[in-house]
Homo-oligomer: A and B are copies of this chain.
Amino acid sequence: MSLTSPGTPPPPQPPALRVAVLGAGTVGTEVLRLIAQQRGDLAHRIGADLEVVGIAVRDLTRDRGEHAGAELLTEDASELVRTADLVIEVMGGIEPARSLLLDAMAHGASVVTANKALLAQDGASLYEAADIHGVDLYFEAAVAGAIPLVRPVRESLAGDRIQRVLGIVNGTTNYVLDAMTRTGASFDAALASAQELGFAEADPTADVQGHDAAAKASILASLAFHSRVRLSDVHCEGITEVSPLDIAAAARMGRTIKLLSIVERVQDDLGERISARVYPALLPDEHPLASVSEAYNAVFIEADAAGSLMFYGQGAGGAPTASAILGDVVSAARQRVRGGVGPRESRYAELEQVPLDDLRNAFYVSLTVQDRPGVLAEIAGTLSGNGISISTIHQELLEKPEGEGEQALAHIGISTHRALESAMTASLDLFSSTSTVLSIDSVLRIEGV
């Protein structure tokens, strides 16, 4: 056929999809780079071209690299989102991100976001808007960066019954704990070095306090258990209190301290409930999560039929996060071209949360005590009086203080078998009120045993 043959129109090309990008920081810049560099491939994979129609930024004067031309930059995000087919949100924070995404969906745009805090705090209204307006809401990048996790949990395992997800989903805290483990450094020193190397932000609060991991736990729990789990439902402890002594004690026991996000079904007399929590815990060195080093993420999933699955990769960083976002962009764009909608919120199960007190965990407790006869018996008695049985105990005499009248002190590290959280709380209260125990130095859970 001649290229100029008349009467045979070329096959109709769907119009380009108009893409708005909110935010042009580390991740936004990488998203723009990928869209530009892979434009041809993306068009083939989607069935239509992607055209970036605007990039909303707060500071128009800052250079955003070659793929964010000045003509695309705008401070008027509100106007931008109303003209787009797809909105990619990588600005972070609750507002104005929330209002912009709601407005974008009201105007018919599908949304791809990496905003874990927003999803954890107010995912319900985003889901609702997507549903009402018949658009898509994708957020693979919100949970573990480049690691495919949202799609496996809500699609691949949609016909299975997930029992438990156990994950290292915050790279900063894993980097800090790993550095403390390798070098014996204090938390403050390890954090400072992580900040210097770019593994921790200038304000590391959301990471080291566990809030970021808790937001991800709430998202994972919602998906895994088809129930609405909010950030406020997640019990959250950070890593700021983890000491070199704890790390050393864990090592002595063949264990490693990791910040874990745990979501699980709990079956007891009260029926089936769920738990979502974040805390530093001791893992056996031979547990696959124990060897996850530096800023890597890894997630274990246990499901009835699938058994144990593990996913491993880079949980943060510009390019890995952009990879996850682009995967979602392709999915949302394909729906635009071919019709259909992506997964909706699934919360039919409406499982209730187990209060932390009702959970049964194994613990490691370290105490500074008076070194005199009967102390061990007293402590063991307190624990057993609360129904807690001891697994191992380690006692070390502390160096005798200088002064004549000073008392001799000892350090005791106790590992327990599984016991009710409330029983441990009661025991700790008793320790606090006895003169035998001078200080409760740490209380950590033991997982993976």
Contacts and interface: CB of A to CB of B under 8 A. Distances in A.
A306 B324 contact: yes
Contact of A324 (B156, B288, B326, B335): B156
B331 A307 contact: no
B305 A309 contact: no
Contact of A326 (B34, B305, B331): B305
A323 B160 contact: yes
B320 A306 contact: yes
Contacts of A151: 148, 151-152, 155-156
Nearest to A46: B158
Copies of this polypeptide in the complex: 2
Contact of A339 (B45, B309, B327, B341): B341
A305 to B, nearest CB: 4
A297 to B, nearest CB: 10
Interface string A372-416: 000000000000000000000000000000000000000000000
Contact of A310 (B140, B312, B317): B312
Given A305-B322, A341-B338, A38 B140 contact: no
Nearest to A298: B310
A160 B307 contact: no
A346 interface: yes
A324 B38 CA distance: 31
A313 B323 contact: no
A426 interface: no
A45 B158 contact: yes
Interface residues of A, number: 57
Contact of A309 (B41, B313, B326): B313
A161 B39 CA distance: 12
B159 A346 contact: no
Q: Which of A44, A140, A305, A311 has the most CB of B within 10 A?
A: A305
A159 B158 CA distance: 23
A159 B34 contact: yes
A437 interface: no
A234 interface: no
A438 to B, nearest CB: 44
A26 to B, nearest CB: 13
A147 B157 CA distance: 10
A340 interface: yes
A348 B310 CA distance: 32
Contacts of A343: 334
Interface of A: 30, 34, 38, 41-42, 44-45, 140, 146-148, 151-152, 155-161, 226, 288, 303-314, 317, 319-320, 322-331, 334-335, 338-341, 343, 346, 348-349
14 contacts: A45-B158, A148-B309, A155-B331, A156-B327, A158-B330, A159-B325, A159-B327, A159-B329, A305-B322, A306-B313, A307-B314, A307-B319, A308-B314, A309-B313
